[in-house]
């Protein structure tokens, strides 16, 4: 597979077409990385947690690309901590306010330097390592909040499947996305994942809106007809909507009920909350909540 390096990509990352032409395949890169990590852990035990800037790179981008190309990933490749959460934790320990979580903003707040060029993969990786090291360089006091959770795609998926949940969370929706956009996108996802029409499989779809602007916040929820369809959806590769690849993630009635305190769609929040309660009661607690 060959994808042209655009001018925008070169301007953003510094990657020239000649660099890509001299590169390796994703399979070769994954194999080399696995060998490297196995050499760092005890007899290749896989006892490792990766660190990323955000929750996109591994469970969305890498997983989708690997699925599409038939590449098998070790479970630990989808186990990570989000640097932004570690940073927020450290600032809470220090009693300081968080004004932003971009790499330059975190570096400035912590007094470390950005390495090389922003958006260059190898440089950003070194910058992430500096920030993480700074956040963890001294033990927190006993009364400090707990460390941020380790995100584990396979463990989260296993828990989701064992509960028989039919509630999914959407991440990465375009801020300009309308309800019609969401439903059209769902029709394409269903064709890929479930083999049924959206009309057959969907019970409820909602975008979470910003209270002030009433624009899409980038998040949303789905309630499906049954847990089997939800399981197919959550395993499927991400599909773009409006130029953004939307992540379908495991969720629960509890998370959805909590989020109902915000504003959904164009209907009153109380009405939406009542509909969610009705659907949950129909499940008779099958989600364990």
The pLDDT of residue 287? 47
Going by C-alpha positions, the residue among 216, 208, 211, 265 that lies closest to residue 242 is 216
Domain 1-149 has CATH 3.30.420.10: yes
Q: What pLDDT band is residue 230 in, cutting at 50, 70 and 90?
A: confident
Instruction: Give the HSE-up count for residue 150: Cα atoms under 13 Å, Cβ half-sphere.
Output: 12
Query: What is the reported pLDDT for 44?
Result: 59
CA angle 145, 256, 88 (to 5 degrees): 25
- Look at residue 266 in the predicted model and tell me its pLDDT: 46
In tens, the pLDDT along 183-221 reads 888 887 776 665 555 555 677 777 777 666 667 778 888
What phi and psi, each to the nearest 5 degrees, are found at residue 41? -105, 160
Rounded mean pLDDT, 222-237: 85
> 58 CB contacts (<8 Å, ≥6 apart)?
50, 52, 77, 78, 80, 153
Contact 262, 269 (CB under 8 A): yes
pLDDT of residue 263: 47
**What's the whole-number mean pLDDT along residues 163-173?**
89
Q: Of the CATH numbers 3.40.1010.10, 3.30.70.330, 3.30.470.20, 3.40.605.10, which one belongs to the domain with range 152-283? A: 3.30.70.330
Q: For residues 88 and 96, what is the distance between their CA atoms, to the nearest angstrom?
A: 9
pLDDT at 289 over 80: no
CB crowding 130-153: b at 16 or more within 10 Å, else e: bbbebbeeeeeeeeeeeebeebbb
Cα–Cα nearest to 84, from 109, 97, 103: 103
Q: 9: how many CB neighbours lie within 10 A of its CB?
A: 16
Give tens-digit pLDDT for 231-278: 888 887 777 888 887 888 899 888 887 776 554 544 445 556 676 777
Domain positions in the chain are 1-149, 152-283
Place 90 in a pLDDT band, splitting at 50, 70 and 90.
very high
pLDDT of residue 288: 47
Q: What's the pLDDT at 191?
A: 66
- Mean pLDDT, rounded, for 151-170: 92
| pTM of the predicted protein model | 0.80
Asked if 119 and 167 count as a contact pair (C-beta separation under 8 A), the reply is no
């Amino acid at each position: 597979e060959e994808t042209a390096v655009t001018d925008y990509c070169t301007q953003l990352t510094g990657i020239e077409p000649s660099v890509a032409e001299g590169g390796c395949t994703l399979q070769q890169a994954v194999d080399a990385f696995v060998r490297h990590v196995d050499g760092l852990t005890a007899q290749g035990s896989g006892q490792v947690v990766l660190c990323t800037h955000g929750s996109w790179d591994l469970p969305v981008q890498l997983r989708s690309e690997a699925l599409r190309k038939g590449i098998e990933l070790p479970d630990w490749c989808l186990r990570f901590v989000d640097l932004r959460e570690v940073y927020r934790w450290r600032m809470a320990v220090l009693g300081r306010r968080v004004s932003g979580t971009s790499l330059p903003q975190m570096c400035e707040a912590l007094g470390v330097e950005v390495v090389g060029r922003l958006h260059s993969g190898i440089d950003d990786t070194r910058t992430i390592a500096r920030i993480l090291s700074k956040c963890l360089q001294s033990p927190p006091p006993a009364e400090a909040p707990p460390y941020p959770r380790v995100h584990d795609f396979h463990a989260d998926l296993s828990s989701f499947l064992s509960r028989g949940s039919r509630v999914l969370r959407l991440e990465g929706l375009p801020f300009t996305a309308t309800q019609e956009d969401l439903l059209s996108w769902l029709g394409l996802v269903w064709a890929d994942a479930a083999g049924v029409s959206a009309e057959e499989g969907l019970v409820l779809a909602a975008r979470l809106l910003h209270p002030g602007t009433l624009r899409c916040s980038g998040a949303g929820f789905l309630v499906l007809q049954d847990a089997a369809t939800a399981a197919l959806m959550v395993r499927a590769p991400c599909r773009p909507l409006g130029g953004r690849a939307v992540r379908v993630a495991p969720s629960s009635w509890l998370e959805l009920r909590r989020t109902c305190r915000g504003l959904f769609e164009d209907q009153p929040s109380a009405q939406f909350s009542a509909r969610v309660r009705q659907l949950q009661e129909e499940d008779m607690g099958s989600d364990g909540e």
